[in-house]
Amino acid sequence: MDRSTLTLISTESILPKLGSIKAELIARGFGILSETHLNPGFETSATDPTGDAFSLKFEALLTSTQSKALSQHLGTVFSMDAIVQPLQDAETPKRLACFDMDSTLIQHEVMDELAYRHGIGEEISAITETAMRGEISFKESFNRRLACLKGFDAELIPGIAQSLKLMPGAEILVKTLRANGTKVTILSGGFENFAVHLQNALGPLDALYANVLEVENGKLTGRISNQLVDETRKLTLIKTLAEQQGIDDRQTIAVGDGANDIPMLLHAGLGVAYRAKPLVQEKAQHCINHTTLAAILYVLGYQRSEFVEH
């Protein structure tokens, strides 16, 4: 018997809509096997930033294309995040999580932040958006933007790093994963200086890979001093890290928002496009747009009571 699971996450109570959602599944010929309220306390504490969440298990033989279409339909009609997965995939423990940094774990594009301090913010942001939409390659975009930062005062970097804000739900997500034995890694096309600061904010991570800014005489040279972390490198890293740890690809998670994240999102056992650019949402199997990063824990089957917050 082929089974699937539907995870629903919303900033509002799901209960008033649950009957209609189940009716939608039944109308499609799917037999509902069970339902689990993953955050039952939401009914008495509707200010919980992690949102309300339900998991529905149902009988269905769905292709990945059909699963995604159903997720998109339910998410659009009922204004919430909806993730449909084969039950076997959903119940496979995840042991490695790889995260993009800029606009994923943090609310910023670091290159843009440096550019605004350098007085060329709008010019750099325009190139960033073009790359994130996949209209030019990440490598071309990266080199063009970084060259514009030549002469930037490196002493300003620690202060900028301190000002960066975490994406809502990032801390809960990372701490809960690590407390349950999942290795957490940053794979960033951004910069190591900022990834290190993020690691300090989130607690120790298992590894981080990012680009290293080259500095001469206290100024940025407009170059990096390492192998560029682009879409190809991210894909290689998630494969290598899993292999080194004896982790099956089905036990991996990847989360990102930009075009350079697409290969690792497609490779991972659970690839999530988080508030991503249109091209990324089109390519990725799973998308989260309405709720916080903590929603990924619900997708993994965690109960709200199992979240680690401190």
Confidence (pTM) = 0.95
Half-sphere exposure of 8 (CA within 13 A, CB side): 29
Separate counts of helices (H) and strands (E) for the chain: 13, 12
**pLDDT of res. 130:** 85
Query: Within 10 A of 11 (CB to CB), how many other CB atoms are there?
Result: 18
**pLDDT of res. 46:** 67
**pLDDT of res. 47:** 79
Distance in angstroms (rounded) separating the CA atoms of residues 241 and 12: 38
**pLDDT tens column, 289-301:** 999 999 999 999 9
State the angle between helix axes of 121-132 and 138-148 in degrees (0 to 180), rounded to the nearest 10: 170
Q: Which helix H or strand E contains 85, and what residues bound it?
A: strand 81-86
* Residues classed as catalytic: 100, 102
**pLDDT tens column, 24-50:** 999 999 999 999 999 999 978 767 999
Question: Between the CA atoms of 52, 281, 59 and 304, what dihedral angle is there, to the nearest 10 degrees?
Answer: -20
**Do 62 and 70 contact (CB within 8 A), yes or no?**
yes
Residue 147 sits at φ, ψ, to 5 deg, of: -60, -35
**Do 224 and 194 contact (CB within 8 A), yes or no?**
no
Asked if domains 1-91 and 93-310 share a fold, the reply is no
Please report, for the chain, the start and end positions of each structural domain, with discontinuous segments joined by +: 1-91, 93-310
Closest CA to 230 of 165, 150, 125, 143: 143
Closest CA to 9 of 59, 55, 46: 55
Burial 132-152 (b: 16+ CB within 10 A, else e): bebeeebeebbeebbebbeeb
For the domain made up of 1-91, give the CATH fold. Answer: Alpha-Beta Plaits (3.30.70)
In angstroms, the first-to-last Cα distance of the chain is 41
| Spans of the chain below 50 pLDDT | none
Distance in angstroms (rounded) separating the CA atoms of residues 57 and 288: 20
CA triple 191-195-196, angle to 5 deg: 120
**pLDDT of res. 200:** 85
Class at the top of the CATH hierarchy for domain 93-310:
alpha beta
- β-pair partners for 215: 220
